[in-house]
Amino acid sequence: MAVFPDRIVLKNSTDSSASIISEIGAGGNDPITQGEIVLGIEPGNVQIYTLDSSGNVITIATGSAAARAIVSDTAPTVGIGGIPLSEGDLWYKGDNGVFHVYYNSAWVEISGSGISSLALGGLSDVTLSTTPTNGQVLTYQSGSGEWTAADNASIPVAETGDLITSIDSVPYRLPIGDQDQVLTVSAGGEVEWADPVAVSVSELSDLTDVDNALAPSVGQVLVYNDTTSQWEAGSVSGTGTVTSVGLTAGAGIEVAGGPVTSSGYIGVGLAPTGVASGTYPAARITIGSDGRISAASVSGINDLSDVNTINVAPADGDCLIWSDAMQRWRAGNITGAVTSIIAGDGIELDPANGTGNVTISVSAEGPELGGIDDLSDVDTSTIPPVNGEVLAWDNVGGLWVPAPPVIGAQIMDDLTDVSASTPEDGQVLTWSDSESSWVTSEAGQGTVSSVGIAGVNGIISSGGPVTSSGSITVGLGQSGVTSGTYANPTINVDTYGRITSISDGELLQDPTVLEGDMIYNDGSNITRLARGTDGEVLTMDSGIPTWSPPADPQPNVTYLDDLADVDTTATLPTDGQALIWDQVSSTWVPGTVSGAGGAGLYMQETQTSSSSGEATFNGIGFSGVVQKVTADVDTWLVLYSSAANRSNDSSRDYTSDPSPGSGVVFEAYILAGQTVEASPGTTYFNNDATPTEAIYAAFRTQIGNPIVSTVSISAYGMAISGDYIPKTTLQAEVASSTDFADFQARIAAL
């Protein structure tokens, strides 16, 4: 692979610029060909003359003419020496100390306040006066000329509980109905909320299978009459009806000793909750519906209601990132890049494959919405609904289908707490704990003469035993804890989930803790940090948080050596030296710069190619010498003097050398993470019709496919734009300046 594709012929002359152009141009006495270079040597300046691709003579200035930016309080219209302005020229505005670059036929500010925010709301034509809500889109307002957040007009905005349906294929929002309303289909086929058709049942006599022709007397019960198929008021014989008493343990309760068939006791106590007894500092506790602690643990960050580090375990270096899908903070890494986007219903992408720079918008039609019958679990077409019907679940078909509303009970068995589908003559309703309902049973003679309850495991009882009729009261005994509210408590819990002792955390009992104070762990104790004063910032001092004044945003700089990245003490400068970047110490140090003006300055630039494998280096000068190159992936790097040359060379094979005059100024194959040194250094130059600091690059694989790669070039620029001020001049201006503003003014006047 050729590193020096073109032979460069050098000539020099001390004639005037006009004379040299006349002599070497077409029709002159000493014409040159493409690739030859003539140096015009002038006092304090060097002009480079060569031919562009059209055979026209072009010049590149070096030395004092190229090393200084245009300094003026007003925008320049011509370059130094009266030459036309070109892209990349610099202008230093003396009255405010701001640099500008000439780009796209206009001066663009490159220093000063710059972009204040990298957020969308920081753009000058975007106004986000309120925080956007979920689903809003960015909409252009022609009146104000700005982009603002607005609701998506193609889809009705729905509140919690609303339904989205359609009329004649037009989507509309059905607001949530009132309490106890049901969803019905009107005669016109529209879905709407309506009050249910109520059946008034307020007394037993309202039920169709209850006969209250004879008014009941005290002590009577409802007895089923098999002849009339009715429940009637009546009396049952016998002085005792209880034959057996047992207890069924409910949630959190355990029993022992039952059933009792004559006399005896049934033991009732609290069942263990599974919580280990012990002390839980700063506890996280779960309390069941019975008021007992069902779980207890020492709190961690995952105990916060909006943090989830269980589904995705954190790795070293992870931070908490908000997840809209989980509505939780989750562990994750903020590095990475989106490689593609997939469009959902009603969404359009440009380009359609979702890669590169993608524009996302809502399609004009919006998502396709149909009627309620379009839902997979609804069938209103087989049996069309009539006015007043509701959607009812059909267990056989597994679908919601139209049906008349059935509201309220009409017979005894319709009541939710009654199970009496086939009562027999003379039966009565008796409560069943096991079925949690009233069930039919025969009236019988009881054999139990006494019932009592013995409380164990914190249960106490009173009122027993019952020998005829009465009530026994069962409750929780005292645990010895004083009722009240405790802050950051330390608790003791027994095996039944009861708190047996509790106390506030020591720090939070401290009466000196004030609003705004903070607490932190100093390694052995929880310590109070008093709140700071206005303007202070929280910093770390030897691992301990401390409130302190913020660092001075503009330190007092009197000498160049006061700057953190400048060292003129270790090696004192001598007359004529300049500041040179030392890669080893990462500081600017005194050194001797060879060559005139801006020639020979050490420069570095890093560029990442686009998906087409192309990039442009604009920070290594019009021309120079390549020192070394690096890449993050395996890369065939080729540098060109013009964009046209890059396009013309795109089909060349890796094993083929470039043709003479093809404009290839450097090429190398770089393995991922390695550095290729150009030894000896390889020259490069820009050959556009109007020279610019643009060196055109192509990043390819060995089979010629474009790749996305990040490449760094280190070079010695021989012709660059920019303002170069010798160190001795800077030292003199620093010594003479009264303050930083005065120093800025002096530099602007140079």
State how far the Cα of 72 lies from the Cα of 89, in Å rounded to an integer. Answer: 13
d(CA 360, CA 339): 15
pLDDT in the model for residue 162: 73
116 domain-assigned: no
Average pLDDT, the chain: 76
pLDDT band of 635, cuts 50, 70, 90: very high
Q: What confidence score (pLDDT) does residue 155 get?
A: 57
Give the pairing type, strands 359-362 and 347-350: antiparallel
Residue 212 pLDDT greater than 60, yes or no: yes
pLDDT by residue (tens digit) across 365-383?
A: 544 545 777 777 888 888 8
Is 70 exceeded by the pLDDT of residue 14? yes
Q: What is the pLDDT of residue 705?
A: 94
Highest mean pLDDT among 110-119, 349-358, 503-512: 349-358
pLDDT of residue 406: 63
Average pLDDT, integer, range 217-240: 75
Give pLDDT, residue 596. 38
Tell which wins on pLDDT, 478 or 739: 478
Answer yes or no: is 62 within a domain: yes
Is 203 a member of any domain? no
| Residue that wins the pLDDT comparison between 285 and 76 | 76
645, containing H or E segment: helix 643-648
Tokens 């409560």 -> residue = 431
- 359: number of CA atoms within 13 Å, CB side? 5
pLDDT at 480: 76
The Cα diameter of the chain in Å comes to: 144
Structure tokens at 23: 């002599």
Beta-carbon contacts of residue 445 (< 8 Å; ≥ 6 apart)? 238, 239, 240, 241, 243
Q: For residue 457, is it within any domain? A: no
Residue 744 located in a structural domain: yes
Q: Is residue 382 part of a domain?
A: no
Residue 352 has pLDDT above 70, yes or no: no
Mark whether 672 and 715 lie in a shared domain: yes
Amino acid at 396: V
pLDDT in tens, 38-71: 877 776 567 787 887 778 887 765 544 444 467 7
> What is the model's pLDDT at position 228?
83
What's the pLDDT at 347?
Answer: 67
> Rounded CA gap, 727 and 119, in Å?
39
Residues 657 and 670 in one domain: yes
Query: Is residue 311 a part of any domain in this protein?
Result: no
Q: What is the DSSP letter of 494?
A: -
The pLDDT assigned to 242 comes to 64
Q: How far apart are CA 438 and CA 357, in angstroms?
A: 70
Whether 26 and 54 map to the same domain: the answer is: yes
Residues 559 and 681 sit within 8 Å (Cβ to Cβ):
no
Out of 422-426, 689-693, 745-749, least confident range: 745-749
Cα 427 to Cα 156, 221, 441, distances in angstroms: 59, 10, 5
Under 8 Å CB-to-CB from 205, ≥6 apart: which residues? 212
User: What is the pLDDT at residue 116?
Assistant: 38
Strand 57-63 with 635-640, pairing: unpaired
Instruction: Please measure the distance between the N-terminal and C-terminal CA atoms of the chain and give it in whole angstroms.
Output: 47
**With the C-alpha atoms ordered 573, 575, 578, 580, is the resulting torsion angle positive or negative?**
negative
Work out the average pLDDT over 148-159.
Answer: 64
Q: Do residues 609 and 577 lie in contact, with contact meaning Cβ atoms separated by under 8 Å?
A: no
Q: In this structure, how many other beta carbons lie within 10 angstroms of the beta carbon of residue 62?
A: 24
The percent of residues above 70 in pLDDT, for the chain, comes to 73
Q: What are the residues facing 193 on neighbouring strands?
A: 183
Q: Which residue has the tokens 């506030």?
A: 504
Side chain identity, residue 233:
A
**Is there a single domain that holds both residue 591 and residue 537?**
no
Residues 649 and 589 in one domain: no
Tally of domains within the chain: 3
Same domain, 630 and 706: yes
Residue of 86, 90, 91 whose CA lies nearest to 688: 86
What is d(CA 662, CA 604) in angstroms, rounded to the nearest whole number? 26
CA distance 482 to 594: 87
- Name residues whose C-beta falls within 8 Å of residue 144's C-beta, 6 or more positions apart in sequence: 127
Same domain, 615 and 701: yes
How far is residue 623's CA from residue 683's CA, in Å, rounded to a whole number?
A: 7
Q: Residue 1: is its pLDDT beyond 50?
A: no
- Alpha carbon of 201 to those of 180, 409, 416, 437: distances in Å? 17, 7, 14, 19
β-pair type (675-685, 601-608) = unpaired
With a cut of 90, say whether residue 196 has pLDDT above it: no
Query: Rounded to an integer, what distance in angstroms lies between the CA atom of residue 591 and that of residue 599?
Result: 15
> Within this chain, do residues 612 and 638 fall inside the same structural domain, yes or no?
yes
- pLDDT for res 644: 94
Cβ atoms of 440 and 224 within 8 Å: the answer is: yes
User: What span, in angstroms and rounded, lies between the C-alpha atoms of 553 and 230?
Assistant: 93
Closest CA to 353 of 340, 338, 339: 340
Q: Are residues 564 and 518 in the same domain?
A: no
Scan for tokens 């219209």, then name that residue. 77
Which position has the higher pLDDT, 23 or 478?
Answer: 23
C-alpha closest to that of 59 among 561, 689, 499: 689
Are 710 and 614 members of one domain? yes
b/e burial code for range 362-391 (CB count within 10 A of at least 16 → b): beeeeeebebbeeeeeebbeeeebeeebbb
The pLDDT score that the predictor gives to residue 114 is 40
- Decide if 314 is inside a domain: no
Q: What is the pLDDT of residue 447?
A: 60
Selection from 184, 187, 136, 180 nearest residue 163 by Cα: 184
Same domain, 536 and 626: no
Residue 80 has pLDDT above 80, yes or no: no
Beta bridge partners of 203: none
Q: Render pLDDT for 176-190 as a digit per residue (tens, 0 to 9).
A: 888 878 778 777 777
Instruction: Say yes or no to pLDDT of 236 above 80.
Output: no
Enclosing domain of residue 589: 560-595+725-749
Q: What is the pLDDT of residues 658-716, one digit of tens each?
A: 999 999 999 999 999 999 998 877 889 999 988 888 999 999 999 999 999 999 999 88
- In degrees, rounded to 5, the angle at the alpha carbon of residue 360 between the alpha carbons of residues 355 and 366 is 130
Burial class (CB in 10 A: 0-12, 13-18, 19+), 158: middle
- Region 347-361 average pLDDT: 66
C-beta separation of 236 from 443 below 8 A: yes
Among 447-461, 497-511, 640-654, top mean pLDDT goes to 640-654
Name residue 623's beta-bridge partners. Answer: 685, 719
What's the pTM value of the predicted model, to 2 decimals? Answer: 0.25
Q: Helix or strand or coil: residue 412? A: helix
* Cβ proximity of 234 and 443 under 8 Å: no
- How many residues are given for the chain? 750
Q: Both 624 and 666 in a single domain?
A: yes
pLDDT above 90 (res 263): no
Q: What are phi and psi of 646, to 5 degrees?
A: -65, -45
Angle (nearest 5°) at CA 296 between 292 and 300: 145
Determine the Cα–Cα distance for residues 13 and 57; give it in Å rounded to an integer. Answer: 15
Whole-number pLDDT of residue 198: 60
pLDDT tens digit string along 307-337? 777 777 787 766 677 777 777 777 777 555 5
* Residues paired with 586 in a beta bridge: none
Give 600's pLDDT tier (boundaries 50, 70, 90).
low
For strand 263-270 and strand 459-462, is the pairing parallel, antiparallel, or unpaired? unpaired
φ, ψ (nearest 5 deg) of residue 158: -110, 140
- Cβ proximity of 31 and 24 under 8 Å: yes
CA dihedral sign of residues 511, 513, 515, 521: negative
pLDDT at position 346 over 70: no
Mean pLDDT of 163-169: 67
* Residue 606: per-residue pLDDT: 94
| Confidence check: pLDDT of 123 > 50 | yes
Q: Does the structure show a pLDDT above 60 at 300?
A: yes
